[in-house]
Amino acid sequence: MRPPVVLSRGKHSFLVEKFEGKLHTHHGVIELSELKGKSFGDTIKTHIGVEYKIVPFNLSGFFKHFRRGATPVMPKDIGAIIAYTGLSPDSLIFDAGTGSGMLAAYLAYFNKFGEVVTVEIRKEFAKIARRNFKLAGLKNVHQIIGDAVEVADGFKKEFDLVVLDMKDDIAFIPKAKQILKVGGALAVYNPYIEPAREVYEVMSKNEFRELEAFEILRIDLDIKRVGTRTSTGVWHTGYIVIGRKY
């Protein structure tokens, strides 16, 4: 067992990147050197004897444990982008902008035999994303620092999927058309309705086909001893527009 690993107890979990030093938990202190020689499924005790389970760091932990720079896309929306664009595992993907690298990391994970090119204009966000990609052990993500609208000019009609989650998404739409293969998909994520509508209209003008615009709502259940009911919080995040180049 090598780092990173996750120490989990109920709702609490900690990502451990080095097996050295002390980890301060809600239930006391853990000596991380004691992790050496342990296996997944084993437990480790805090100084007051509370046990944490040692589990692998995997995809379900990306959202919880990735460092945050810019606001990341949430897994429910990433799932929809993957399913509705029909991502195949040997794709070439263009992701703009990288932000925290959340969307790029999930796409890279499911695109095992392909590559993700991700472009970010701000160096400090690119640095955070680089750490996240390394943490996740992803080797098929290629980071470019620059303006995605300009970077796109360096590519040909080679991408299977373009995903946009950045301010200049409207300016990027004609570029997306240029760099997508025939049959390739463009997915644009936007936190507000008005820009999502504009994206839809501009994609339509640029002759993207099979256009669809939607929102994915996740509604949690509160599961309590007295009974189960719908949580009062509605998890709105943003709007997704998807179209294809034919």
Residue 77 binds ligand SAM (CB under 6 A): no
120 binds ligand SAM (CB under 6 A): yes
Alpha helices for the chain (secondary structure H): 59-65, 75-85, 102-110, 123-135, 148-151, 169-179, 193-205
Query: Within positions 186 to 215, which residues make up the interface with ligand SAM, using CB under 6 A?
Result: none
Kindly write out the interface string for residues 30-69 of this chain, putting x where it contacts ligand SAM by CB under 6 A and - elsewhere: ----------------------------------------
H helix or E strand, kind and range, residue 57: none
116 Cα distance to chain centroid: 12
Is residue 238 a contact residue for ligand SAM (CB under 6 A)? Answer: no
C-alpha 107, offset from chain centre: 7
Distance in angstroms (rounded) separating the CA atoms of residues 88 and 170 = 26
Which one of residues 17, 42, 115, 168 is an interface residue with ligand SAM (CB under 6 A)?
168
What does the alpha-carbon distance between residue 194 and residue 169 come to, in Å, rounded to a whole number? 13
Nearer Cβ to ligand SAM (16/73): 73
x-or-dash pattern for ligand SAM, window 122-151, by CB under 6 A? x--x---------------------xxx--
Kindly report the length of the chain: 246
Instruction: Tell me which of 16, 93, 103, 242 binds ligand SAM, using CB under 6 A.
Output: 103
Stretch near ligand SAM under the rule CB under 6 A, chosen from 19-27, 84-92, 162-170, 176-184: 162-170
How far is the C-alpha of 174 from the C-alpha of 218, rounded, in Å? 32
| Of 32-40, 159-167, 209-217, 218-226: span binding ligand SAM (CB under 6 A) | 159-167
Among residues 37, 68, 50, the alpha carbon closest in space to that of 7 is found at 50
**Are β-strands 141-145 and 208-215 bridged in parallel, bridged antiparallel, or unpaired?**
unpaired
The answer to whether residue 159 forms part of the interface with ligand SAM (CB under 6 A) is no
Query: Given the rule CB under 6 A, which residues bind ligand SAM?
Result: 70-73, 96-97, 99-103, 119-122, 125, 147-149, 165-168
